[in-house]
Chain A
């Protein structure tokens, strides 16, 4: 809740600072002079400053709530308690007056093993205790274990720091809280603060260091490039095979009654089946090796490309075909010079969608079973609770997916400049 509120505050504050103060004297181009902008989609242009601040905010929030060393300490959210704290408990036993004893607790970072300190037992039948507890963990402190009268003999804890306590109740103490368990043993929980435990969300620099480590030494017998390369190779090969079969199939469906009738039910049925739903069947048929993944991606790309090619053919204006016929073109020449070029924009759109779907499908297939690949990397890392590798993997998968889309758009601009100009 607090991170969300902070995020909203940053959003609103940045909006006012940037638009009202900094950009007050902005440029006066045609769009900036429009008085109607609400509802005029063309007048809505992404604010560059907002984009930059948005990305910085994500890293800022990430740093604040992980205690990142990239941020000055005063920006950190309150961290977990670390150090030594004490509380007293009051024990009561039959025929004895209640006796106090002190518990010394050392709260230490998880990765740094610490022994419970030696303490002077003190006087009375209740003796002083000590314990070492890791941050974000809790510890039952069996305080009566070294007492003269133990729990077995009927002693019970009746107060913490002088406050009465019964099983199930909680008392706040310095550096944490003490809850009495059902069986009457104090359970110490150090203050967690507002930061995320590194196990759940490592700091940005931790992800970065781990990335460098994986780049230099690899992960599970393969280098990082090999993992990503395998995923990309599967996508490209599966997509190419799908396009190689799907595009001619789509053309045939767009040009012949018989093909249209024969393949329409198949294509229309297979199109809404998510490729992920085919993973189990493909594993049964082709195993978890390369062949299975390529088949899966082939199937993912096939229907998309067939439908794109089909609608590319149906989209040709009949006047263009008529014009070509009355200019003396043969059927084959019409195919080559009119239908194919006319369908290329649609095919490119289909290819962009297919590449996106294939990339998503390959990662999912690798999550299920693979020897190498981006999906396998994050799945294996998650089994060993290497959250930093998981986050690195997700970022890389996103960057590559974005890169693929950019590349397809670029190719589209170069190869089919007439798109949308017909």
Chain B
């Protein structure tokens, strides 16, 4: 059985003052191999906690996580992660960064070089492969991060706001790249984002999470990711369903934020 299955996941942090935070409560989700899921939600809804549990950096207080039939207990190369920024190794060149995973596994040099060269072509950084990563622009650095993750050929790719720090134009190009890579490689992808548009454009499935306790509020299946694979994303945004969906989700998140603020005022 392939795919990722999240079963009744709960996460509860005890605070030093005796209080506790219920970061996640009873979250269940099944993801088939090759699905692209985007996750939205106001801050504090536990979406990063969810991603960290899937990556294996955190152990949940209840529930379990099954990937391709076995239980997830810690980080592993089968689940690659792309971070927002600053996760590249600046003491290595672009080529060495992309080849990091294969090097750790002890892949023969020729195979490794082939993989790295291919991926650098895919992300369009062949000319920059001997450069230091800090010499690259923010968009190029995120391309390196994508290629580094793909070089390991993981089953699942976890993206924690990978495009959050990029300017609007670069971000649009990168969104197309993510879609292209998704289609070409057929990877299962979980993408966390703050941008409703990005979540709509890239998410084949989309979940909106709600805070206190962190839970899945609503789930959508969307056509835009498939449309966007071959088309200009700006054209996709003109789709008659796109605008209403965006408004609906924006309102939903807006209401949740209001509730949080209101709750705080009551507490005060």
Contact = CB atoms under 8 A, between A and B. Distances in A.
Counting contact residues on chain B (CB < 8 A from A), the size range is: 20 to 34
Interface string B34-77: 00000000000000000000011100000000000000001111
Contacts of B242: none
**Which of B87, B88, B148, B149 has the most chain A CB atoms closer than 10 A to its own CB?**
B87
Contact of B87 (A323, A328, A417, A421): A323
A382 interface: no
A236 interface: no
B143 interface: no
A333 interface: yes
Interface in A335-380: 337-338, 341-342, 344
B192 to A, nearest CB: 14
Nearest to B151: A327
A346 B41 CA distance: 38
Given A319-B83, A418-B132, A327 B90 contact: no
Contacts of B134: 418, 421-422
A326 B100 contact: no
Nearest to A340: B91
Contact of B91 (A327, A328, A341): A341
A337 B99 CA distance: 13
B152 interface: yes
B90 A319 contact: no
Q: Label chain B's interface by main secondary structure.
A: loop
Nearest to A341: B91
Contact of B75 (A325, A337, A417): A325
A320 B145 CA distance: 11
Contact of A325 (B57, B83, B105): B57
Interface string B81-115: 10110111111000000001100110000000000
Contacts of B76: 326, 328
A330 B104 contact: yes
Contacts of B152: 327-328
A320 B104 contact: no
A317 interface: yes
List the 5 shortest-distance A-B pairs measured between CB atoms, nearest first.
Answer: A328-B77, A421-B134, A325-B75, A341-B91, A319-B87
Interface of B: 55-57, 74-77, 79-81, 83-84, 86-91, 100-101, 104-105, 132, 134, 148-149, 152, 154, 158
10 contacts: A322-B87, A325-B75, A326-B80, A326-B158, A327-B148, A328-B77, A328-B104, A329-B100, A418-B90, A421-B90
Interface of A: 317, 319-320, 322-330, 333, 337-338, 341-342, 344, 416-418, 421-422
